A and B are shown apart, each in its own frame.
Chain A
Amino acid sequence: MIERGISQERLEILWLCVAAVSLVFFLRLINLQILRHVYYREIAEKNRTQVLPQSAPRGRIFTRDSAAVAANKPSFSLIYFPGRLRSVDAMDKMAQSLSKRLNAPFEELRAGLYKAVKKEAPMRLAENLSSKAMFSLSELKTMYEGIDIIVEARRYYPFGKYLSHLTGYISKMDSREWALYGKNKDYGMDSRVGKAGLEKTYEKDLKGRDGGIYLEVDSRGKLNRILESRKWAPGADIYLTVDSKIQAAAEEGLKRSSTSRGAVVAVDPRTGAVLAIASMPDYDPNRFVSYSDEKIADDFKELPEFNVAIQGTYAPGSIFKIVSAAAALDSGRLDPAETFFCPGYYDAGSRVFKCWEKKGHGRVDFMQGLTHSCDVYFYNLGLKTGALNIEKYARAFRLGLPTGIPLPDEKSGNIFGPSIRAAKKSYWFIGDTLNLSIGQGEMLVTPIQMAQMAAAAANGGIFWRPYYVERIVNSAGEDIFKGKPEMLSRAVLKDSTWASLKDGLKQVVLEGTGRAAKINGVDVFGKTGTAQNPHGKDHAWFVAFAGLAGETCEIAVAVLVEYGEHGASSAAPIARDVILAALRGKLPENREKSQVTSHRSQALREVVGTTVPAAQSGLKELSVSTAAAAEEGR
């Protein structure tokens, strides 16, 4: 070694430094590339893939007789992929020509473009484009880089307001719903979710699995190539127990009523299946699917989301006489042959209680009292039976209890009787007994409770839980759910009680207040009611059940017309239409005078006939266009 006059140890120290630092780098590389490799690989994958979600068609909703009340149709959306054109000028120009062709505000489009460039992600600029706009846009596609049009399934309610309270509607998610669904991969910030009715209750089944185009993008979000195009799986279809003809008759009837407000519920007394459920005012769910926010905001403000059929509570009025009559007969406190004199009022000592017939009914027995709904007869009946007894039977008839229909926010109404008063440490007066026996006072019921009660009267006391989903069929064609009758309870009354009650209710329709519901060849049992309304005109009630002459009853119906004043004149004709719609096909001879319902259901059939295949072909088109979009992207 050549003598240099300096220690060479210093270089060795530096060399040791290199060795030590290399060891640190080595360990660090092991940590990064081997131990945490999976974590970094995932981030790298996320970096380069951009998913352009394509929402799956929601499951359709059909009535029992295959009319599609909720379907899908193809919808075209304008997508912008931020590309090389990212100068403010270029974007302004693009927004200008887009706004001209789309008839959309320039500022909105420009904001969308800016946002897309800022977030470096594809952005939906416009949705639900008309075919006319499509035509001029496809021309624009060649002029501006990054503009593309995709096809998606869009919710569509062919009949608009029809059955809207049951189907509900879908719309954009709010923060609460985002917390609920956001974890699911199929939901994006702009996904639509069910907001009410079936759409909400069966969101999970209806949703389906979203598809999407998986794009490889560079750091600026520019599309590089398409990695994968994943097909969506449509949601499960729901078949309802609701019959389109009966539903049409119910809605038609309500619309024709004096106020066009109220509810109709028809159930099958043999199973509890809901045949029709109409509530007015109703709404057109199509309005909320659309995408421009400002328009929807106005619509939301006046959205009649209140479902009268299950949420409206009213005094039952005279239809409660079914319960008090059953109580009187079954408890044996009343001799049906005994007569009372009705002068048109009842003097209870401290106060005079009127009969609805000012002239009075004269001397009436049970049959006549029920047939003509004589209030004075029922005052006497109530006093004889006793308020506690009536309350007991009201409980047996499940008043004050929700029917258990699987719809959100059902009201249970209010039961009224001496034991309630006692529980509240208050007093029960004789006037209360009189009010109770004719269904006035604090008693509150919902239309669906009354339909359930009518069904029970028809089938000998069985209270079914109303159900409206017959089956849910997934996209593979398998039944994933089947609706089953479920008995909630049974009111055990003597056979003779049921028999006389039915006789009385039949007389009501044949000769009494319910004559407007009479149908030749059909046994109709009914009871009118007028619910006193302290806030305005009285509400009109009619409950009925019916079957072909001499056979078991097939339908029980409750009609409420808000401010309809008289059950006999405004509610009973609607019930008649509904019953007729249900039984028309089974009548031996079609010699009915009223053809109104027939026309309506005929029209419905025609629309259904064209709509279902149209929707299906729309879906087919959809899958083709997805593939086409994938090709174009390449």
Chain B
Amino acid sequence: MIFTSSSGLKKNRMDWLLFFAVLALLILGSFAVFSSVAVLPQQARIIRTHLIAIPLGFAAFSVIWSLNYQIFQDQWKFVYGAALLILLGVLIFGVVDKGSRSWYRLPLFSVQPSEFARIGLILAIANYLDKRIARIREFAVALGAIFLSLPVFLLLIKQPDFSAVLITLPVVLIMLFAAGANLFHLSVILGYSFISALFPVLWTVITLNSELLGSPLINYFFHLSDFGWNTLFFTAGVGVGAYLLWILSVKLYSNISGMFFAGAAVVLVLGFFSGIMLKNQMKDYQQKRLEVFLSPESDPRGAGYNLLQARIAIGSGGLFGKGIFSGTQSRLGFVPERHTDFILAVIGEELGFWGAMLVMGLYVLIMGRLRACAHLARDRFGYLVVCGIFGMFMVYFFINFGMLLGLSPVAGVPLPLLSYGGSNLVATLMALGLAQSIYARRYALV
């Protein structure tokens, strides 16, 4: 091995701060998981899976850490192909749980391929952007990244696993952002995603407040959700509207290009069609989640109730908590999904404010180290990959914390390293192994 120690720094093969932060989260998470499942009937199975996942995760971590990450750039086609293959395979061989066909059933545990596919996608996008970095400010490149990830999204929607989409799409956008994509192009993509999400949300709002259907305009709008003449007229209407606005802007001597109006109309129509598709794909429980986000009182016994109970758990923990293994809210079953999506409620209740702060601090520390890791990476590909991993942690952190603290919608998103979930744990450790591999090879050939 050759060490170039021109900078006089001691060569570290591992970012130990990052490693210990990860270890601390894993230990904290294990205690929280064991505490929260202590009274569940499926306790044994959960603990067993968790205890299998940790060594498996560390094995994956070590293997990837020891590999030169640049292999993944060279062989990105195989990596991405494998990601698509496992997503395709799950649609054929997978088993259905909670309405989604997203699990491989193995003898001892089940595997959720979407977690691993996400890492494959990060690697593929990083390679794509690395190759086209000179033209990054072109819309075609930004759009290309989206098209590259489109198969993954389509396969995820087919399952359907909206939570995975909810995590993966922002990761792709964050990578585009980090690579320096034009902000206008990004906002067009964001606008499109926003519109395709907005339509189902609006239709759900109308379903919730059925008295609104009395108004003919709203009634018309509501029936846009079924394909038909209405939809066609709406599309035509948008086109004509955009054209008229362009004429108007020309008459007013404003120098907005016609492309802008055409683009806006296309984004609106495309978003609208995706919205219809999304709406018709949505499962009942997913619809319910959306409804609860829009009006938490509508279903006091359902998801809104769950969220309220989780918040009660956190609030009742106080400064120091009720003590590990002593949370009443979580152990007596008031907090649902307490070992997965609502694990923070268990920690907040049993370890109190300091426990929650510790968890938050560890996540910020991990993201801080990932940021340093990105800056230290020896090449652009490594930089972009770490940015993707950083983005992944950021999205998990924002959505899960935000949901529990009542700042974002109820989404079935776990906290990586803390929640129970073997596939997520292994995949996250794999991602961190990737980051460590990039860190280890920061300024020298090995």
Contacts and interface: CB of A to CB of B under 8 A. Distances in A.
Nearest to B308: A43
A41 B316 contact: yes
A220 B333 contact: yes
B117 interface: no
Contacts of A22: 360, 364
A39 B315 contact: yes
B39 interface: yes
A44 B180 contact: no
Contact of A29 (B39, B328, B357): B357
B407 A40 contact: no
Given A10-B177, A10-B180, A33 B318 contact: yes
A18 interface: yes
Interface stretch (A1-9, A269-277, A621-629): A1-9
Binding site secondary structure of chain A: helix
Nearest to B406: A28
Given A18-B394, A32-B314, A40-B315, A11 B387 contact: yes
A300 interface: no
A24 interface: yes
Contacts of A45: 316, 328
Interface in A9-49: 10-11, 13-15, 17-19, 21-22, 24-26, 28-30, 32-34, 36-37, 39-41, 43-45, 47-48
Contacts of B328: 44-45, 47-48, 216
Contacts of B337: none
Interface residues of A, number: 42
A217 to B, nearest CB: 7
Contacts of A184: none
B317 A33 contact: yes
A28 B407 contact: yes
B32 interface: no
B375 interface: yes
Interface residues of B, number: 54
B360 A26 contact: yes
Given A11-B387, A32-B315, A2 B378 contact: yes
Contacts of B118: none
B444 to A, nearest CB: 12
Given A43-B312, A44-B329, A11 B133 contact: no
A85 to B, nearest CB: 15
Nearest to B377: A2
Contacts of A127: none
Given A7-B180, A39-B315, A43-B316, A14 B174 contact: yes
B333 A29 contact: no
Interface string B106-139: 0000000000000000000000000001101000
B315 A37 contact: yes
Q: Which of A24, A33, A37 has the most CB of B within 10 A?
A: A33
B366 to A, nearest CB: 10
B443 interface: yes
A44 B312 contact: yes
A224 interface: yes
Contact of B375 (A1, A5, A13, A14): A1
Contacts, number: 141
Contact of A34 (B318, B379, B394, B398): B318
B143 interface: no
Contacts of A4: 133, 379-380, 383
B364 A18 contact: yes
B180 A217 contact: no
A18 B367 contact: yes
A39 B317 CA distance: 11
B179 interface: yes
A29 B313 contact: no
Nearest to A84: B41
Interface stretch (B63-71, B235-243, B257-265, B348-356): B348-356
Contact of B371 (A11, A24, A26, A218): A11
A594 interface: no
Interface string B194-218: 0000000000000000000000000
B194 to A, nearest CB: 18
Nearest to B180: A6
Interface in A192-239: 216-220, 224
Interface in A84-137: none
A2 B390 contact: no
Contacts of A18: 364, 367, 394, 397
B407 A6 contact: no
Given A40-B314, A44-B312, A44-B316, A14 B348 contact: no
A548 to B, nearest CB: 73
B429 interface: no
18 contacts: A1-B375, A2-B378, A2-B379, A11-B374, A11-B375, A14-B387, A15-B367, A15-B371, A18-B397, A29-B356, A29-B360, A32-B348, A33-B318, A33-B353, A37-B318, A41-B318, A218-B39, A219-B334
Interface of B: 39, 133-134, 136, 174, 177-180, 309, 311-319, 328-329, 332-334, 348-349, 352-353, 356-357, 360, 364, 367-368, 371, 374-375, 377-380, 383, 387, 390-391, 394, 397-398, 401-402, 405-407, 443
Given A8-B383, A32-B315, A40-B312, 5 more contacts: A5-B134, A36-B315, A47-B312, A47-B334, A220-B333
Q: Which 10 A-B pairs have the closest CB atoms?
A: A40-B315, A44-B316, A219-B333, A218-B332, A33-B353, A28-B405, A37-B318, A4-B380, A41-B316, A219-B334
